[in-house]
Chain A
Amino acid sequence: MNHEEPKDAAEHLDERWMDEALERFGAAEPRAGLETRILANLEAHAAQRQRRCIYTFAGAAAVVLFGVMIANVLSSKRSASMNEATRTLPAEVNSSSRGHKVAVGLPETSVHERHAIAHKNVTGNRMVLAADGVKQEQSHADKQLFAQGQSSSQNDLTQASEQEPESVIAQEHPAPEIYVSDLKTIQPIEVRELAPVKNIN
């Protein structure tokens, strides 16, 4: 018993020391005004968040506005280019005839070829358009020659229509006005059959 008593006392002392030490270990007092500081921090945080929300909303609105503006500019540019393309490209205008041609199963030809054929059929091989400044008087022989040429051109036309269905299509679907007007600006030239050059010597 005497041996156990001091041991218990030592244990009790250890326990008490440990309790006190643990109590002191956990007892931490914050600086005065902790609640006030925390509340002020929360208010500042809330205000900052609100400000961030406003900036985000404004930024998003600006981005949307910018996007709409860009889309508007792009669409207007595209429509302008489309208008220009419809004005300058006869192939697109003539697409219906082309489609018809493809449906029929005829060989496709280029625009220039088609217009060349059409021009050929209207004027004939030897037909010559009178230019603005060309003289009105023509010789009788020339008139005869012209009549012959016309008849031959008619013959050629019938032959061509039999041989080349392209010419028929070109006649049925003439080139658009705009394109023709471009052609009109080219001054037609007078082609005459020149008399064989005599040997001067």
Chain B
Amino acid sequence: MYLPEQVILSRTIAAHSQAEQVEAVVRQHARFVYQVAYAVLRHPQEAEEAAQETFIRVWKHAKELAGILNQRAWLARIAWRVACDRRRKYPAIATNEDLPELPAVGIGAEESAIRNQQLALLERMIATLPRELRETLTLSTVEEMTSVEIAEVLDIPGSSVRVRLLRARQLLREKVQVLMERKKKDGTKRFNAGVET
């Protein structure tokens, strides 16, 4: 009679400690997981649901939590996969552009509009990048995500991450330059047209 009671007690303690561990992980990394999901999905509601799903998966593998060295990278990997699955499942997820955005506190309406335009432009430019570069750049935008963590998430060496980031930024810069030149040309054309009239 003594042994089963002891076993039950130890299991209860283990389950309790696991629950505590999961809770600690949630409190510590929820925002980070949300940001990883958001980087992929670009939609607040979807990103939150992806974060929920990520932590359900973490809870299912709670026994492994103690043995994981880099919890952030592990979580980022799960969140990345969950978000990619969600995007594949629901390809017609509305982006931020479709949603009405509330004006940011302390920023003027004009500035806010310019920022939104910039963001929309950048999103469009990132979307035109090759998939490998796009994934690496998207993850690099997530706050405090190191190249080592990105390498773990994408399962590639760290040096490849750095090379990809450089190439992605270079491509983006070229695109921005082309865009600016086009705008300048359009501006002079408009100016000439105004003078002629």
Which chain A residues have a beta carbon within 8 Å of chain B's beta carbons? Answer: 11, 14-15, 17-18, 20-31, 34-35, 37-39, 41-42, 45-46
Contact = CB atoms under 8 A, between A and B. Distances in A.
B176 A42 contact: no
A42 to B, nearest CB: 5
B89 interface: no
B115 interface: yes
B47 A38 contact: no
Contact of A14 (B39, B138, B140, B176): B176
Given A18-B169, A22-B141, A34-B48, A28 B118 contact: no
Nearest to B43: A28
Contact of A22 (B31, B34, B122): B122
B interface, by DSSP: helix, strand, loop or mixed? helix
A21 B48 contact: no
B176 A18 contact: yes
B169 A28 contact: no
Interface stretch (B50-58, B68-76, B148-156): B50-58
Contact of B115 (A24, A35, A41): A24
B26 A30 contact: no
B52 A37 contact: yes
Given A25-B141, A28-B38, A45 B31 contact: no
B138 to A, nearest CB: 8
Contact of B118 (A21, A37, A38, A39): A21
A171 B140 CA distance: 105
A28 B44 contact: yes
Given A17-B176, A34-B30, 17 more contacts: A14-B176, A15-B173, A18-B173, A18-B176, A20-B118, A22-B140, A23-B141, A24-B118, A26-B35, A26-B138, A28-B35, A28-B47, A29-B31, A30-B34, A31-B44, A34-B34, A41-B52
Interface centre among A11, A20, A38, A42 (most CB of B within 10 A): A38
Given A21-B122, A24-B118, A39-B23, A46 B59 contact: yes
9 contacts: A14-B177, A18-B172, A18-B176, A21-B121, A26-B39, A26-B143, A28-B35, A35-B26, A38-B26
A14 B23 CA distance: 43
Contact of B56 (A21, A22, A26, A41): A41
Across the A-B interface, the 3 shortest Cβ-Cβ residue pairs: A26-B141, A28-B38, A21-B122
A47 B141 CA distance: 37
Given A25-B123, A30-B34, A30-B48, A42 B118 contact: no
Contacts of A39: 23, 26
Given A25-B123, A27-B143, A45 B173 contact: no
A181 to B, nearest CB: 63
B59 A42 contact: yes
Contacts of A29: 31
A45 B56 contact: yes
